Amino acid sequence: MRPSDELRQLVDDLALRLMVEDPAASAGSNFSGWIPALEKIRHGAAQESASAVGTTAEGIIATLGAGGGLSGEQAAAELQEGILRLQGAIEAASKAPAISESPENRLAQDPELLSDFILESREHLARIETQVLAVERDPCDSEALNSIFRGFHTMKGLAGFLELWDIQKLAHEVETVLDRARNFELKITPTAIDVILESADHLRRWVAHLEATLQQRPTDAPRQDSALLARIRTLTAAPDSPAAGDLAALAAAVEVKPLEGPPAPAAASDETSAPPETARAGRRGEAMAVKVDTAKLDYLVDMAGEMVIAESLVRHDPDLRTVKSQRLQRNMAQLMRITTELQKTAMAMRLVPIGPLFRRMARLVRDLSRQFGKQVEMVTEGDEIEIDRTIVEELADPLMHMVRNSLDHGIEPPPERLDKGKSPTARLLLRAHHQAGQVVIEIADDGRGLDREKILSKATQRGLVASGSGLSDNEIHNLIFEPGFTTAERVTNVSGRGVGMDVVRRHIEKLRGRIEIHSQAGCGTSFLLKLPLTLAIIDGLVVGVGKERFIVPLFAVREMFRPTEKILWSVQQRGEMALVRNALLPVFRLYRKFNMEPRSEDPCQSVLIVAEVEGNRFCMVVDELIGKQEVVIKSLGETFKSVAGIAGGAILGDGRVGLILDLERLFKDRTSETNR
Amino acid sequence: MASTMLAVTEPAGAQTDVRAGKYLTFHLANEEFGIRVLKVREIMGLQEITAVPQTPCHIKGVINLRGKVVPVIDLRLKFGLPAAEYTQRTCIIVTQVQGESSAVLMGIIVDGVSEVLNLTAPEIEDTPDFGEDIAGRYLLGMAKVKGKVKILLDIDKVVSTQEIHGLNAILS
């Protein structure tokens, strides 16, 4: 809606009055006299839903109203600038096309711009958070401070462009604080850190709201948090006098630093080397990155895979074999190298570094350690390790659970740590590294470790185990993965509900990973998550059944062998079992399940594969083992979504499609097969 | 032929039939069928098909189409015709059909493809009512070209996943 002439007149009057009275010149003039006029403008703006004008007016009122600490000159300057902004807002509003009032509704008409904004804001907010934590550790880190400033500044600009005034306003206020901080006019205090983090949270809520609006899921817009705005303003308005000394010292410290020469970076690297370094790496990576549609990426991977197959078909062509030419051989070898390299590169394009995920945990550690009154230092290693994008996203929840558990149960409060002769500051290590083609993520604390006795007594109480006798440490530790298991005496909002670890394990298994615990009483606990590099590829065991070939995911295979009659047993002539390593395991025959013609009905002529899903082991009978192959998983599409026991398809080395078995489903359905 | 050309260039108001246009014709047993050319992605010779267990018999399985896994159905079996030996002329028509959420590729095995015809509205007739037995819901209409009748198929309906799942339910 266009602002009416009346509103414009009000603002013009104000500007005129400013010129006439010139409050900056007359010291000690009373600024409260301006407020009624401003209120009138705000009221008028609200009626005409000229939100930009209203917000600006409100901003001036708040500055003047809260401005007990403002000197006359400052207030006059604020006022002058505010009135200029008001005029600008009026201009902008009258130019803007007279359409809908709610910014989100209007924006929904340009979803592309908005979704770009959402995406970009998320990135900025994530970086802001990391950098704020860096600043908290080292308030002199001007690099980080600048980065935070840039983040808010960009968001402000974008929000202004999209006419999201509330976001723009908040970002602007924070930006002012940061601007002063980086000019050494303001000291970054813990309060300031809190306020900045809270502002970031508030902006994140806004972004979430925008996203919901975009997806046609109306939510309530986050309320403009005037308390937060006021707190930001108190920061900027805080009298400089007491801080002046500190500021000088601060400035001196910053100036001295480069003079110290080589020792300074060395000293820094001892303590806080990891965060700034990774931060810089992140910025560098950002400059080099390109956003690509995942569908295009998938197509590239498909084509690369096809090229490898086509290349192998050509290479093994019988006609070509008869040609004895060194040159041909050399060129073929070269072609093979290139295709393999190309396929590897195409696969690697789906991978992202794990660092940002770790940095998200830093915030959690900060907040929780305050809440629990514990001192925790989080250390990350292997931030540059790359892993499938989907895995990173899916990993956030389980990782958060485990970090929470560590802080709540594992790490002791400082006095207790001192009693035990440990440093009062606990260490939480997040480490990623490669191991045997997998990525291992380690979450290790140096807390009290798992309490064997307590777990055992709880487990007996819940009837999970009959008695503690004969259980290895490892078996006892694994009890914490049982659903509903908790050793916490009381339920906090953080942990103790017993929905933690079993969910974590299920998540990890869904990602085709495994979880292990190593714990030593008094020295700490470490969780090892072993994850595949990517979800798009699995190591498959190619097996033959009848005329068809199937792919068994190797991560679930424990062993395979040709059985002898001695180990096979049947129950009532129906259920079959095999004795493998002193354990009786159910046996099921794949050909029966799939109604196929096997090469031999006699299991002693076949191969037994021992597989494990969700902690259950079972044996599967197949005709033969053909080999092991890394395959790219492809969906069979909606046509076959109801086929039980098949997880997908994959292109085998000869270009044909092989079906990947869904062992979990096969195991669950095996009863229906045996009853047949 | 001249009239055919005319009909294409001239959007004849009253005569316009959404069914007019180009059709790929193929044969099954002794019957001629046509599907819209726009629905056809490619025509390929028969290749090895990987059977998918626990599916109705007209679903032959899946093939690798340049890195994509594409399901294949045998149209003879789908229409209840007797199965025939695959010959040199047997081929797979890869069609793009409307799936539940997005367009999907689907191969259909036919005895052989014939030609591409440009059909005009006057050549197309509605399907006569055959009663319950014949699956009239798959048909767009009938076309009479040079004294021969071509059966125009609505390929989306023929291979719709609902159809496949429905059969699944009956079988199991």
Using an 8 Å CB-CB cutoff, list chain B residues near A305. Answer: 67
* B89: contact with A, CB 8 A cutoff: no
Among residues A444, A442, A450, which one has the least CA distance to residue A427?
A: A444
More confident residue, B99 or A362: A362
Entry pTM:
0.57
Beta-carbon separation of A636 and B69 below 8 A: yes
Give the Cα separation of A309 and A656 in Å (integer).
10
Beta-carbon separation of B53 and A655 below 8 A: no
Mutation target for A interface from B52, B63, B73, B102: give the one with most A CBs within 10 A: B52
More confident residue, A109 or A554: A554
Number of other residues whose CB lies within 10 A of the CB of residue A259: 7
Residues 6+ apart with CB under 8 A from A202: A170, A222, A225, A228
pLDDT at residue A254 greater than cutoff 70: no
* B11: contact with A, CB 8 A cutoff: no
**What is the structure's pLDDT at A105?**
52
pLDDT band at A565 (very low <50, low <70, confident <90, very high): confident
pLDDT at residue A667 greater than cutoff 70: yes
Q: Which contiguous run of DSSP H or E holds residue A390?
A: helix A389-405
**What is the structure's pLDDT at A396?**
85
Beta-carbon separation of B67 and A642 below 8 A: no
**What is the structure's pLDDT at A257?**
38
Closest CB from A306, A549, A637 relative to B71: A637
**What is the structure's pLDDT at A515?**
87
The pair phi, psi for residue A352, each rounded to 5°, is -130, 155
The Cα angle at residue A96 between residues A92 and A102, in degrees rounded to 5:
105
For residue A452, how far is the Cα from the chain centroid? Answer: 32
Secondary structure class of A6 (helix, strand, coil): helix
CA of B133 to nearest chain A CA: how many angstroms apart?
A: 25
ipTM for this prediction? 0.76
* Residue recorded with tokens 């125009």: B152
pLDDT by position in tens, chain B (length 172):
444 444 444 444 445 678 889 999 999 988 899 999 999 999 999 888 998 888 888 889 999 888 888 999 999 988 888 888 888 899 999 999 887 777 889 999 999 999 999 988 888 888 777 665 556 678 888 898 888 889 998 888 887 755 555 554 555 4
**What is the structure's pLDDT at B22?**
92
The pair phi, psi for residue A73, each rounded to 5°, is -65, -45
Q: Give per-residue pLDDT as tens, B39-76.
A: 999 999 988 899 888 888 888 999 988 888 899 999 99
**What is the structure's pLDDT at A292?**
80
Beta-carbon separation of A657 and B101 below 8 A: no
* B53: contact with A, CB 8 A cutoff: yes
Beta-carbon separation of B69 and A657 below 8 A: yes
**What is the structure's pLDDT at A259?**
36
**What is the structure's pLDDT at A280?**
43
Give the Cα separation of A558 and A596 in Å (integer).
25
Number of other residues whose CB lies within 10 A of the CB of residue A99: 9
At position A323, the amino acid (one-letter code) is V
Beta-carbon separation of A594 and B64 below 8 A: no
pLDDT at residue A100 greater than cutoff 70: no
At position A275, the amino acid (one-letter code) is P
**What is the structure's pLDDT at A270?**
39
Largest CA distance in chain A: 108
Report whether A114 contacts A103 (CB < 8 A).
no
CB pairs under 8 A between A and B: 76
Q: Give per-residue pLDDT as tens, A138-169.
A: 777 778 888 888 888 888 878 877 777 788 88
pLDDT at residue A541 greater than cutoff 50: yes
Closest CB from A594, A595, A651 relative to B64: A651
Report whether A7 contacts A48 (CB < 8 A).
yes
Instruction: Please give, one letter per residue, the 3-state secondary structure of A470-489.
Output: CCCHHHHHHHHHCCCCCCCC
* B170: contact with A, CB 8 A cutoff: no
**What is the structure's pLDDT at B37?**
93
Give the Cα separation of A248 and A416 in Å (integer).
39
pLDDT at residue A269 greater than cutoff 70: no
**What is the structure's pLDDT at B35?**
93
**What is the structure's pLDDT at A240?**
46
Give the Cα separation of A199 and A64 in Å (integer).
22
Cα–Cα distances in angstroms (integers) from residue B25 to residues A287, A479, B1, B103, B105, in the given order = 54, 65, 17, 22, 19
Task: Report the share of chain A in percent with pLDDT over 70.
Answer: 79
**What is the structure's pLDDT at A237?**
67
For residue A388, the cross-strand partners are A351
Task: Report the share of chain A in percent with pLDDT over 90.
Answer: 6
Give the Cα separation of B90 and B49 in Å (integer).
14
For residue A249, give both structure tokens: 């010292």
Which 29-48 residues of chain B touch chain A by CB within 8 A? 48
Among residues A606, A598, A596, which one has the least CA distance to residue A565?
A: A606
Using an 8 Å CB-CB cutoff, list chain A residues near B165. Answer: 642
Give the Cα separation of A329 and A319 in Å (integer).
14
CA of B66 to nearest chain A CA: how many angstroms apart?
A: 6
First to last CA, chain B: 51
For residue A532, how far is the Cα from the chain centroid? Answer: 17
Residues 6+ apart with CB under 8 A from A227: none
Secondary structure class of A540 (helix, strand, coil): strand
Among residues A377, A406, A389, which one has the least CA distance to residue A351?
A: A389
* Residue recorded with tokens 């998983």: A633
pLDDT at residue A467 greater than cutoff 80: no
Q: Give per-residue pLDDT as tens, A490-509.
A: 545 555 444 567 788 888 88
Q: Is the Cα torsion angle A78, A84, A87, A88 positive or negative in sign?
A: negative
Report whether B56 contacts B168 (CB < 8 A).
yes
**What is the structure's pLDDT at B7?**
41
Among residues A338, A353, A345, which one has the least CA distance to residue A301?
A: A345
Q: Give per-residue pLDDT as tens, A567-602.
A: 888 877 777 888 888 888 888 888 888 888 888 888
How many Cα atoms occupy the beta-carbon half-sphere of B4 within 13 Å?
10
Of the candidate ranges A512-521, A554-563, B102-111, B126-135, the one whose mean pLDDT is the lowest: B126-135
CA of A305 to nearest chain B CA: how many angstroms apart?
A: 7
Mutation target for B interface from A657, A660, A662, A669: give the one with most B CBs within 10 A: A657
For residue A414, the cross-strand partners are none
